[in-house]
Protein backbone atom coordinates (compact mmCIF):
# COMPACT_ATOMS: atom_id res chain seq x y z
CA UNK A 1 0.00 0.00 0.00
CA UNK A 2 0.95 3.62 -0.36
CA UNK A 3 0.09 6.66 1.69
CA UNK A 4 0.52 10.34 0.94
CA UNK A 5 2.48 12.14 3.59
CA UNK A 6 1.89 15.90 3.67
CA UNK A 7 5.09 17.55 4.83
CA UNK A 8 5.36 20.43 7.29
CA UNK A 9 8.24 22.21 8.99
CA UNK A 10 11.56 20.37 9.05
CA UNK A 11 10.04 17.32 7.35
CA UNK A 12 10.04 19.38 4.14
CA UNK A 13 13.72 18.40 3.87
CA UNK A 14 12.49 14.94 2.88
CA UNK A 15 11.16 16.03 -0.51
CA UNK A 16 11.06 19.00 -2.89
CA UNK A 17 7.29 18.69 -3.16
CA UNK A 18 4.77 19.13 -0.35
CA UNK A 19 3.67 15.49 -0.53
CA UNK A 20 5.86 12.43 -0.12
CA UNK A 21 4.42 9.11 -1.30
CA UNK A 22 5.44 6.40 1.14
CA UNK A 23 5.27 2.68 0.36
CA UNK A 24 4.20 0.56 3.29
CA UNK A 25 3.26 -3.08 3.85
CA UNK A 26 -0.52 -3.69 3.83
CA UNK A 27 -2.32 -2.99 7.13
CA UNK A 28 0.46 -0.75 8.40
CA UNK A 29 -0.13 1.55 11.33
CA UNK A 30 1.57 4.77 12.44
CA UNK A 31 4.22 2.79 14.31
CA UNK A 32 5.24 1.13 11.04
CA UNK A 33 5.24 4.50 9.30
CA UNK A 34 7.71 5.77 11.92
CA UNK A 35 10.11 2.92 11.23
CA UNK A 36 9.85 3.42 7.45
CA UNK A 37 10.53 7.11 7.93
CA UNK A 38 13.66 6.26 9.88
CA UNK A 39 14.93 4.30 6.87
CA UNK A 40 14.04 7.08 4.43
CA UNK A 41 15.96 9.58 6.58
CA UNK A 42 19.10 7.41 6.61
CA UNK A 43 18.81 6.77 2.86
CA UNK A 44 18.65 10.48 2.11
CA UNK A 45 21.60 11.21 4.42
CA UNK A 46 19.46 13.49 6.54
CA UNK A 47 20.30 11.79 9.80
CA UNK A 48 22.11 14.82 11.18
CA UNK A 49 19.11 17.08 10.66
CA UNK A 50 16.15 14.78 11.12
CA UNK A 51 17.44 12.10 13.46
CA UNK A 52 14.68 12.57 16.05
CA UNK A 53 11.83 13.21 13.65
CA UNK A 54 10.42 9.64 13.53
CA UNK A 55 10.23 9.68 17.33
CA UNK A 56 9.01 13.23 17.97
CA UNK A 57 6.60 13.79 15.08
CA UNK A 58 2.85 13.59 15.55
CA UNK A 59 0.52 12.65 12.69
CA UNK A 60 -2.79 14.25 11.73
CA UNK A 61 -5.55 12.65 9.71
CA UNK A 62 -7.59 14.77 7.32
CA UNK A 63 -9.82 15.62 10.30
CA UNK A 64 -6.79 17.46 11.79
CA UNK A 65 -6.67 15.17 14.79
CA UNK A 66 -3.56 13.60 16.26
CA UNK A 67 -3.63 9.82 15.87
CA UNK A 68 -1.68 7.37 18.03
CA UNK A 69 0.71 4.62 16.97
CA UNK A 70 -2.04 2.01 16.70
CA UNK A 71 -3.96 3.96 14.05
CA UNK A 72 -4.41 1.75 10.97
CA UNK A 73 -3.51 3.50 7.75
CA UNK A 74 -5.60 3.11 4.61
CA UNK A 75 -4.29 2.80 1.09
CA UNK A 76 -3.88 6.27 -0.52
CA UNK A 77 -4.70 7.98 2.78
CA UNK A 78 -3.49 11.55 3.21
CA UNK A 79 -1.63 11.96 6.51
CA UNK A 80 0.10 15.12 7.73
CA UNK A 81 3.39 14.81 9.54
CA UNK A 82 3.63 17.31 12.40
CA UNK A 83 7.22 17.88 13.58
CA UNK A 84 7.64 19.61 16.96
CA UNK A 85 5.96 23.01 16.76
CA UNK A 86 7.19 26.45 17.76
CA UNK A 87 5.23 29.38 16.44
CA UNK A 88 4.47 32.75 17.96
Partner 1 sequence: MSLHTAIVKAEEDKISLEKAKEFIISEKNGAESIFIGRVRDENSGKKVIAVTYDVHDQAVIKSFQSLCNDAKTKFDKSSSIFLEHAKGYVPVGEISILIAVSSGHRDEAFKICRYILEEIKHKSPIWKKEHYTEGNEEWLPGHSLRPKEEIK
**Interacting residues with partner 1 (CB under 8 A):** 8-10, 12-13, 49, 55-58, 60, 64, 66, 68-69, 80, 82-88
Nearer to partner 1, 3 or 81 (CB): 81
d(CA 47, CA 79): 22
Shortest distance, position 26 Cβ to partner 1, whole Å: 23
Q: Which is closer to partner 1, CB of 49 or CB of 75?
A: 49
End-to-end CA distance of the chain: 38
Shortest CB 60 distance to partner 1, Å: 6
Q: Which residues contact 76 (CB under 8 A, 6 or more apart)?
A: 1, 2, 3, 4
* Smallest gap from residue 69 Cβ to partner 1 (A): 6
Residue 25 or 87 with smaller CB distance to partner 1: 87
Q: How far is CA 56 from CA 2, 26, 50, in A?
A: 22, 24, 10
Amino acid sequence: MEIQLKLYGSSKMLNDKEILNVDLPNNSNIKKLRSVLKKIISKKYLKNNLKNLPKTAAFFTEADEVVNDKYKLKNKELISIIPPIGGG
